[in-house]
Amino acid sequence: MFVSCIYSLWCPVNLIRSFSQRSDLKMSKKKGLSLEEKRSRMMEIFFETKDVFQLKDIEKIAPKSKGITPMSVKEVLQSLVDDNMVDSERVGTSNYYWAFPSKALHARKHRLEDLEKQNEESKQRKTALQQAVEKAKKGRQDTKERATLQKELQSLKEQRESLRAEVEKYKECDPEVVEEMRKENITAKEAVARWTDNVFSIKSWAKKKFSFEDSRLDKAFGIPEDFDYLD
């Protein structure tokens, strides 16, 4: 009884709308229906008949009475189920579908609130981005002062690179660098002298131990004939 009252309150509005839509049914078939139009017309099937259907029933009714193409019936019905506009229950091996006007109205209202919220968030993001863009533009305006400063900055960069090249070029003449090189040269000569001592010591030991000649030892160990101490 309660459900019947809800339908009686809801259906007149939908019936008026359905009469209008039926008059345009032939035109709709020619130009095609949008997804929202298909969803709306499919909801009318449930509200007008106050019945429970299987998918095969909807696939027969929707094309004939509402102009919904057979290929799209299942997709449209599933979208209504996903949005909680239509209830679905599996009994045995079959799925059954029905819809109450009060629940559908609540679902549509909830969906509308979500969309309005998303729209408001999008507006806020857009405003924030516009403000950020404007702020960035202010700091990059091509004023005469900015152009002059950019020129001076570029000039200073070029001078710096030029000076760095000059420093590298004349670095060898720096007294500190020359002194460092002199110290390194002395250290290197001392190291060479030590290794020369070692070579001569080994040659002397080998000659006594194995009675080898100098030429044979030099050839065996790759020692040059003019090997001697550095001046």
Looking at residue 137, what is its pLDDT?
64
Looking at residue 128, what is its pLDDT?
72
Looking at residue 12, what is its pLDDT?
43
Give which of 37, 39, 30 is closest to 75, Cα–Cα: 39
Q: What letter would DSSP give residue 173?
A: G
Q: How many of the other CB atoms lie within 10 Å of CB of 111?
A: 13
Sheet containing 87-91: order of strands: 53-54, 94-98, 87-91
Looking at residue 25, what is its pLDDT?
52
3-state secondary structure 73-124: HHHHHHHHHHCCCCEEEEECCEEEEECCHHHHHHHHHHHHHHHHHHHHHHHH
Taking only the tens of pLDDT, the chain with its 231 residues reads 433 443 443 444 444 344 445 545 554 555 688 888 998 898 889 888 888 999 999 999 999 999 999 999 999 999 999 888 888 899 889 899 998 877 767 766 776 777 777 777 777 777 776 676 676 666 555 667 667 766 776 777 777 777 776 666 555 555 565 566 667 777 777 777 787 787 777 777 777 777 777 777 777 777 777 777 766
Give which of 38, 45, 36, 39 is closest to 15, Cα–Cα: 45
Looking at residue 11, what is its pLDDT?
43
What residues does 88 pair with on adjacent strands? 97
The kind and range of the H/E element at 53 are strand 53-54
Instruction: Supply the angle between the helices 35-49 and 55-66 in degrees, to the nearest 10.
Output: 110
C-alpha span between 88 and 90 (Å, rounded): 7
Q: Which residues contact 98 (CB under 8 A, 6 or more apart)?
A: 46, 51, 52, 53, 86, 87
Q: How many of the other CB atoms lie within 10 Å of CB of 104?
A: 20
pTM (global) more than 0.85: no
C-alpha span between 83 and 51 (Å, rounded): 20
- Which phi and psi angles does 46 have, rounded to 5°? -70, -45
CATH 1.10.300.10 fits 2-110, yes or no: no
Looking at residue 221, what is its pLDDT?
72
Residue 117 carries which side chain, given as an amino acid letter? K
